[in-house]
C-alpha cells in the first residue's frame, strides 16, 4: 500500500486507450470511443474479484459511502452507527444525506465493538457501518447477528481493507453493501475513485441512477433518459477507471508483497515482551496494509512513536493524536460546524459529543501504533526497518 508505488506499463497502456479515443466521460459518445468502456470494465472485474453480483464505480470512497446509504433509502433522521476510529468521511457521508452519525466504541480489533453497538440501537437506527481500518476487519458475524435481530442494514466500509476476507468472503461482500476507496494512497488506486458492491438488485439500480443525477440509463440517447428520482453527480471518469483496470489485475500481486513485508516486521518485534497485536477475528484474513500493535500504556506508546520516527522508521501513525482519524480531533463534528444550516433532524438527534465518554476506545487507540506497509520496499529496506523497530521498541518496553 499504496498502489501508485508500482505504477507501470499496464497502467500507462490502459490510460492511453482512453486518450486515443478522446472520450473521458464514462457515459455517452458511443461512436467516438472505439468500444472503450473502462468504467464498465472495472465494474465487471471488481464484481468478479469480490464474488458479488454487482459493482458501481463512483468518484471517491466518500461518494461510495454516500451513494450506498442513499441507495438503501437512508435519509433524514435515520441513525447510522459508526466507530470512533475511522476517517472523517464516515460521518461526512452520513450527514450529507441528512442522517445522524452515532459514534460508538472500538475494541481490540480497532473496529466496532459489538456490545457497544447493541447498546446504541434506538428506534431510529437504520444502519450499522463497521469500518475495516488499517487492513483488518470488525467482528462481522457478531455485527451481522445484531443487524438480523434488529432488522438493520450492515454496510461495510472496506476502503482501507480491499483484498482482506472474512469466513472466506471478500471484505465488503459480507454485509448488505460494501464500499471501497481507490484514492491515491489506497492498496489499489484510480488516482481518485471508489466503488459500491452488493448482491441486491434494487440497491445497485438505485446507486447507478443516484450517482448520475438520477439518469435511468435506459436506451442509447442520454438526452432522452428519464429521472425516476433525485440524484447527484458522483461519476468517475474514464481516465480514473482506466488506472483501476490495470490495478485490479495486480491486487493479488500487491497483497503478496504486503504480506511478506508485514510478516518480516511482525516477526521481528513479536518476541518483545509487553507488545501485543490487534486482534483479527477468527475466520478473518487481513490485507496486510498496516501492522498495528499495542504498547502497555499510552505514555509508552507516545514515546515509542516518537522514537521510531527519530530512528528513521517513517510511515508510522499514532492515531490517538491524529487530526483526521480519531474522534478526539473532530471538533467540526463535536461543535457542529457547518457552512449552512444542518437538517433539523440532525440538530435534534446528534449526541453532544463534547460530553461523550469514549474511554473504552481511548484505552485501545491510546496504546496503538500502526506502521504502513509499503509496496516499494526492497528486501534490504524491509529487513533494515525490522532491525530498527526491534531495537527501538526493545529499549522502551
Question: Looking at the annotation, which residues are catalytic?
Answer: 186
**CB of 81 closer than 8 Å to CB of 51:** no
∠ Cα 120 132 268 (to 5°): 125
Residues whose CB falls within 8 Å of the CB of residue 126, separated by 6 or more in sequence, listed in order: 74, 78, 79, 80, 99, 152, 153
Task: Determine the 3-state secondary structure of 126 from DSSP.
Answer: strand
Where does residue 32 rank: exposed (0-12), middle (13-18), buried (19+ CB within 10 A)? Answer: exposed
Report the distance separating Cα 323 and Cα 87, nearest Å. Answer: 10
As given in the structure block, the three cell numbers for residue 106 are: 472500538
Report the distance separating Cα 336 and Cα 390, nearest Å. Answer: 43
Largest CA distance in the chain: 70
∠ Cα 376 382 386 (to 5°): 150
Point out which residues pair with 54 in neighbouring strands: 198
Point out which residues pair with 196 in neighbouring strands: 56, 179
Report the distance separating Cα 216 and Cα 226, nearest Å. Answer: 6
Which CA distances in Å does 273 have to 86, 317, 347, 396, 397? Answer: 29, 21, 48, 11, 7
**CB of 390 closer than 8 Å to CB of 304:** no
Amino acid at each position: 500500500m499504496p498502489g501508485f508505488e508500482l505504477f507501470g506499463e499496464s497502467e500507462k497502456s490502459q490510460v492511453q486507450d482512453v486518450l486515443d479515443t478522446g472520450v473521458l466521460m464514462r457515459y455517452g459518445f458511443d461512436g467516438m470511443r472505439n468500444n472503450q468502456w473502462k468504467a464498465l470494465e472495472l465494474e465487471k472485474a471488481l464484481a468478479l474479484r469480490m464474488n458479488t453480483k454487482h459493482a458501481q464505480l463512483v468518484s471517491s470512497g466518500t461518494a461510495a459511502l454516500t451513494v450506498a446509504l442513499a441507495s438503501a433509502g437512508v435519509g433524514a433522521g435515520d441513525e447510522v452507527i459508526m466507530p470512533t476510529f475511522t476517517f472523517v468521511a464516515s460521518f461526512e457521508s452520513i450527514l450529507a444525506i441528512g442522517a445522524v452519525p452515532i459514534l460508538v466504541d472500538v475494541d481490540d480489533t480497532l473496529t466496532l465493538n459489538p456490545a457497544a453497538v447493541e447498546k446504541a440501537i434506538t428506534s431510529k437506527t437504520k444502519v450499522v457501518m463497521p469500518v475495516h481500518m488499517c487492513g483488518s476487519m470488525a467482528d462481522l458475524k457478531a455485527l451481522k447477528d445484531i443487524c438480523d435481530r434488529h432488522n438493520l442494514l450492515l454496510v461495510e466500509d472496506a476502503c482501507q481493507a480491499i483484498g482482506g476476507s472474512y469466513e472466506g468472503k471478500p471484505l465488503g461482500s459480507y454485509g448488505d453493501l460494501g464500499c471501497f476507496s481507490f484514492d491515491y494512497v489506497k492498496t489499489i488506486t484510480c488516482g481518485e475513485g471508489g466503488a459500491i458492491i452488493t448482491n441486491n438488485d434494487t440497491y445497485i439500480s438505485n446507486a447507478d441512477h443516484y450517482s448520475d443525477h438520477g439518469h435511468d440509463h435506459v436506451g442509447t440517447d442520454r438526452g432522452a433518459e428519464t429521472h425516476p428520482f433525485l440524484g447527484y453527480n458522483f461519476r468517475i471518469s474514464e481516465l480514473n477507471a482506466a488506472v483501476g483496470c490495470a490495478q485490479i489485475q495486480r491486487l493479488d500481486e500487491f497483497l503478496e508483497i504486503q504480506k511478506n513485508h508485514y510478516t518480516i516486521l511482525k516477526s521481528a518485534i513479536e518476541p518483545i515482551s509487553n507488545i501485543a497485536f490487534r486482534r483479527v477475528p477468527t475466520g478473518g484474513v487481513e490485507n496486510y496494509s498496516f501492522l498495528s500493535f499495542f504498547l502497555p500504556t499510552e505514555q509508552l506508546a507516545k514515546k515509542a512513536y516518537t522514537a521510531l520516527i527519530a530512528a528513521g522508521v517513517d510511515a508510522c501513525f499514532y492515531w490517538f493524536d491524529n487530526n483526521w482519524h480519531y474522534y478526539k480531533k473532530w471538533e467540526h463534528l463535536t461543535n457542529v460546524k457547518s457552512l449552512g444550516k444542518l437538517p433539523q433532524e440532525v440538530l435534534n438527534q446528534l449526541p453532544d459529543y463534547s460530553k461523550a465518554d469514549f474511554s473504552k476506545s481511548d484505552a485501545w487507540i491510546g496504546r496503538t501504533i500502526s506502521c504502513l506497509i509499503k509496496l516499494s520496499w526492497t528486501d534490504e529496506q524491509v529487513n533494515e526497518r525490522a532491525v530498527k523497530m526491534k531495537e527501538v521498541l526493545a529499549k522502551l518496553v
